[in-house]
Amino acid sequence: MLDTKFTLKDERIAVDNAGITLKKLRIADAQGDIFTVDGNIGTENLLVPTFNLKLKAKDFTALNSSEEDNDLYYGQATFDASAAITGNLTVPVINLDLTVKDVTDVTYVVPATELDVVQRDGIVQFVNRQNPDAILTQTEEESATLTGFDITANFKIRDDAKLKIIIDPSTGDNLQVAGSGDLKYRMTPNGRMTLTGRYEIDSGYYQLNLYEIVSRRFDLAKGGSVTWSGDPFDANLDVSAIYKVETSASALMASQTSGADLSTKNSFRQQLPFLVYLNVDGELMQPEISFKIDLPNDEQGAVGGQVYGRLQQLNSQDQELNKQVFSLLVLNRFFPTSGADGSNGGTATIARDNLNQALSDQLNQYGGKLLGKTGIDFSFGVDSYTDYQGTSSQERTQLDVTASKKLLNDRLVVSLGSEVDIQGSAQDGEETPVIGNVSIEYLLSQTGQWRLKGFRRNQYDNVIDGQLIVSGISLIFTKEFNEFKNLFAKTVLEENQKARKEEEEEQQEDIKSSESNNK
């Protein structure tokens, strides 16, 4: 079952009336590393032998098997050990220092629930009919009785030592963890056990299968810990697992972008790397499980920080947060919020919004492939809503098409677009213009921090019951900052850009001056 070879070469064991003597008995593993046993076992009382043994090991491999050799546990287990065994068979006294080496990589398969006796009624005992009470008066043979162990053990676990636990072989749920720790175990002869110390997680993952439909991998966050302060079954947990999913935030931001122009909606369709945190805190037997959705630090300023701000709001709403976490785990996308058109976000609305997002993503991918080298950017969006104008409501679906072109060294961006009815039609008297949406944006600064934008767009707004034409002009200022005081302070990047520009201007002046002197 261990699938490793142990070798004894010319070792001697002395046996006499006093007991068994082992003089540095050397046991070698397959790699030639030595496990040494030194001392004696006293047999003056054969029923209660005494122990006086010392054990030492260095880089000793006790397990080196594969799944084919043993379906319950397999892998490699290598350790250093120093132990002393004293006492007798009634109460063996064990003092152990054991270091689990970093090459250790063990897999343990949690077995199915074993059969157990749940009812003892009906058990038959056979007795002598001539002397039925003989079973009560019979004498028992004298034998040695093990009353308990007296164990003191110190465990050191090196950083790269790995343990994998297959929780459910049928679904493939498994946990793998690597880390380091110092633990002290104590067991008294009456069976009382204590465990103190801390195990800190360096890496690992939890592979989760949801209803045998989808498989998701949570990476264990570095720095998590399991701390014992007495009871081995009452550890304190501080563990976080992260599931990474790349998806767009358009469904999450639907309520904020209702009525916005297509370019604004498209800005939220970009793929972002969202992090779903599964946090496990509290006691081992009664853990507290919570969720959190976040963005990496370098992505928190995406789309002007609006997505990150929405996530902060979402994380404070437990019911909505749990719904979005479930959607990200199962569908790899956000769950559409209640319809901006007044619908309550029922099953039909949810399915429609998910289909719209999928179609929009595919159209934008195809458009990018077909027109990638023309200098004209096309974007597509499918929008479905319920139109309540008139005497009865109707379902409407529109395809938004926008073409944009950058001019004047990318300082001027011109966008033209329109909506095409796919399902339903405009109310009587409404006409959809060929070019319904116009946007002209000029970058006042080279970095794009200051922008001037003029626009005209068609906008459906159910609140005032009608289709609107919105025109306007806006001055846009964009800046990323972590603290409010940094909003008006110049960043290092801005100062470097300004210094670089001044240096380039000076170089140009020097060149012109030298050319004029040469003439």
- Taking only the tens of pLDDT, the chain with its 519 residues reads 667 788 888 888 898 888 899 988 999 998 899 999 999 999 888 888 999 999 999 999 999 888 888 888 889 999 999 999 999 988 999 999 999 998 999 998 877 654 454 555 555 566 666 666 655 555 555 555 677 889 999 999 988 889 888 877 777 788 889 999 999 999 998 889 999 999 999 999 988 776 566 788 889 999 899 999 988 888 888 989 999 999 888 888 877 776 666 677 777 878 899 999 988 888 877 788 889 999 998 888 888 888 899 999 999 988 888 888 888 887 888 887 654 444 445 445 555 555 555 555 555 555 555 555 566 776 766 666 555 555 555 666 666 777 788 888 888 888 877 766 666 555 544 555 555 678 888 888 877 778 888 888 766 555 444 566 778 888 888 776 666 666 666 555 556 666 676 777 777 776 666 666 655
Strand partners, 53: 39, 85
Query: Among candidates 172, 267, 276, 185, which has minimal Cα distance to 228?
Result: 185
Domain limits, the chain? 1-112+145-200, 376-480, 485-519
**C-beta separation of 175 from 162 below 8 A:** no
E strands, 211-353, where?
A: 214-220, 225-230, 236-247, 272-283, 287-294
**C-beta separation of 106 from 176 below 8 A:** no
Query: Residue 241 carries which side chain, given as an amino acid letter?
Result: A
The predicted structure's pLDDT at residue 341: 46
C-alpha–C-alpha distance, residues 11 and 79, integer Å = 23
Single pTM value for the model = 0.59
Segment 394-397 long-range contacts (CB within 8 Å, at least 24 positions apart): 394/424, 395/423, 395/424, 396/421, 396/423, 396/424, 396/425, 397/356, 397/421, 397/422, 397/423, 397/424
C-alpha–C-alpha distance, residues 413 and 108, integer Å = 60
C-alpha–C-alpha distance, residues 155 and 195, integer Å = 11
Q: In the sheet where 394-407 sits, what is the strand order?
A: 376-387, 394-407, 412-423, 437-443, 450-461, 466-477
C-alpha–C-alpha distance, residues 116 and 64, integer Å = 32
C-alpha–C-alpha distance, residues 458 and 402, integer Å = 13
Output the six-digit token pair for 39. 């001392």
C-alpha–C-alpha distance, residues 291 and 324, integer Å = 10
C-alpha–C-alpha distance, residues 507 and 489, integer Å = 28
Distances (CA, A) of 379 to 335, 447, 456: 23, 24, 17
Segment 458-464 long-range contacts (CB within 8 Å, at least 24 positions apart): 458/419, 458/432, 458/433, 459/259, 459/261, 460/259, 460/341, 460/385, 460/387, 461/259, 462/340, 462/341, 462/342, 462/385, 462/388
The predicted structure's pLDDT at residue 386: 59
